[in-house]
């Protein structure tokens, strides 16, 4: 034992000049680095002014956000309350519409915009490259903003409809930042599905023509208001999340003969096919949820593209209940037998050639969602696919699509 201690002391003595020098040298380098870091962070003047270079350095040091950090905007996008900042030009706006007092079953979709934004946290410009399209929509030509929410009243549906219509009209009449787009595009986060009537009214005004509708849903939503039995009726009561396309058709907002329902599996009212006859008069092609078993996603895409084409203006409306409630339970009117998320994504990727002028994702009700937030995550992914297709269409119209490198397998 004594011999071991003596050997250790001898070894320590032999290294006596080395170890302290090494430690002191290491401490000196560390202190120098800390001093350098402090100098780098000491940017700007006492009055708070900073140069362009200093601003860039601050952004480089502190601008990055992890997926789990930062204020909750969609995909960590820049936030501007677009309705109160007309000087902020944008190409695509993500707009929350927290309204759900026109539902016929379970409420809660007013919390959908917040849920979808939170579920989009792992989408960032840093990691947003879409391999199927060969582009990152967040770093392409388009300035995409989170435009905040329309402050829709929950107390009066007639006033709410007026508010939504005025908000859409105001934003769609703005000049886009990019000269390649005729108008800015709005993608709405619902909210119940009735918001589509307001969007279509604004689009009809701005584009001065009826708009084709591509409608993914378990339900028709072209029901005559009288199909909702109620002896206490009013004009306000006619407006709900199942009648808005009937109202829109009767106002001449929808392009008859160029619109499509996809994913239908609803029960009809009464004892016959009168609901389908009403739907036929409004000019919709119906694709049922069952059709995917025979057509496969590529067959569904083919029917949609043959019906609508690539030039007419299209409003793309996706009720999250088009998905099976087993994968998307957080919605107000769930219907068993729906599509999977993978099937829906494949179809959305196949229709990227459409001339989409507006879109929505609606009926996400987080209070009925699972602990994994499956429905909100699905809604966020749908928005990502929409954004990618709108940006890619913009590149095509600008004549820059050939610059996009595509290295992928055939999606369909």
Each residue's pLDDT, cut to its tens digit, for the chain (412 residues) gives 555 554 554 554 555 544 455 455 556 566 555 555 555 556 656 567 788 898 899 888 888 888 888 888 999 999 999 999 999 999 999 999 999 999 889 999 999 999 999 999 999 998 999 998 899 999 999 999 999 999 999 999 999 999 999 999 999 999 999 877 789 999 999 999 999 999 999 999 999 999 999 999 999 999 888 777 677 777 777 788 888 999 999 999 999 999 999 999 999 988 899 999 999 999 999 999 999 999 999 999 999 999 999 999 999 999 999 999 999 999 999 999 999 999 999 999 999 999 999 999 999 999 999 999 999 999 999 999 999 999 999 998 888 775 555 444 444 5
Look at residue 3 and tell me if it is in a domain.
no
CATH number of the domain to which 208 belongs = 3.40.800.10
Name the nearest CA neighbour of 171 among 139, 197, 147, 201: 147
Look at residue 175 and tell me if it is in a domain.
yes
Look at residue 104 and tell me if it is in a domain.
yes
Q: How many domains does the chain have?
A: 1
Look at residue 7 and tell me if it is in a domain.
no
The whole-number pLDDT of residue 242 equals 80
- Cα separation of 143 and 88, whole Å? 10
Residues 130/135/136/140 CA torsion (nearest 10 deg): -160
- Cα separation of 188 and 172, whole Å? 12
What DSSP state is assigned to residue 232? Answer: S
Look at residue 156 and tell me if it is in a domain.
yes
Look at residue 316 and tell me if it is in a domain.
yes
Structure-block tokens of residue 125:
């410009």
Look at residue 236 and tell me if it is in a domain.
yes
| CB-CB contact of 164 with 157 (8 Å) | no
Look at residue 305 and tell me if it is in a domain.
yes
Ordered DSSP codes for 127-140:
T--BTTTTB-TTTS
pTM of the model: 0.85
Structural domain harbouring 230: 75-401
| CB-CB contact of 82 with 88 (8 Å) | yes
Name the nearest CA neighbour of 193 among 364, 79, 368: 364
């Amino acid at each position: 034992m004594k011999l071991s201690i003596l050997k250790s002391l001898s070894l320590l003595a032999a290294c006596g000049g080395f170890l302290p020098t090494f430690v002191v040298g290491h401490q000196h380098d560390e202190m120098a680095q800390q001093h350098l870091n402090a100098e780098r962070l000491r940017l700007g003047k006492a009055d708070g002014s900073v140069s362009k270079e200093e601003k860039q350095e601050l952004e480089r040091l502190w601008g990055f956000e992890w997926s789990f950090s930062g204020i909750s905007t969609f995909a960590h996008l820049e936030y501007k309350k677009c309705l109160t900042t007309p000087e902020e030009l944008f190409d695509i706006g993500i707009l929350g519409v927290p309204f759900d007092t026109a539902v016929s079953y379970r409420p809660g979709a007013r919390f959908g915009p917040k849920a979808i934004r939170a579920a989009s946290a792992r989408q960032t410009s840093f990691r947003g490259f879409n391999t199927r399209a060969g582009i990152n929509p967040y770093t392409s030509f388009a300035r995409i903003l989170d435009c905040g929410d329309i402050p829709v009243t929950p107390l009066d549906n007639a006033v709410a409809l007026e508010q939504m219509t005025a908000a859409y009209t105001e934003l769609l009449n703005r000049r886009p930042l990019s000269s390649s787009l005729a108008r800015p595009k709005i993608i709405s986060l619902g909210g119940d599905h009735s918001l589509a009537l307001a969007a279509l009214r604004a689009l009809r005004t701005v584009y001065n023509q009826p708009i084709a509708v591509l409608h993914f849903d378990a339900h028709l939503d072209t029901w005559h208001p009288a199909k909702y039995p109620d002896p206490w009726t009013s004009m306000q009561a006619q407006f709900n999340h199942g009648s808005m396309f009937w109202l829109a058709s009767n106002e001449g907002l929808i392009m008859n003969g160029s619109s499509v329902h996809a994913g239908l599996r609803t029960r009809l009212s009464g004892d016959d096919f009168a609901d389908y006859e009403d739907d036929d008069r409004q000019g919709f092609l119906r694709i049922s949820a069952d059709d995917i078993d025979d057509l496969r996603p590529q067959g569904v895409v083919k029917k949609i593209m043959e019906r609508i084409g690539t030039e007419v203006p299209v409003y793309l409306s996706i009720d999250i209940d088009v998905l099976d409630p087993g994968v998307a339970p957080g919605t107000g009117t769930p219907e068993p037998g729906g599509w999977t998320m993978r099937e829906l994504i494949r179809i959305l990727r196949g229709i990227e050639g459409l001339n989409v002028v507006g879109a929505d994702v609606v009926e996400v009700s987080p209070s009925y969602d699972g602990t994994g937030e499956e429905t909100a995550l699905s809604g966020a992914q749908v928005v990502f696919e929409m954004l990618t297709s709108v940006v890619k269409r913009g590149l095509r119209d600008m004549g820059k699509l050939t610059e996009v490198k595509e290295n992928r397998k055939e999606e369909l």
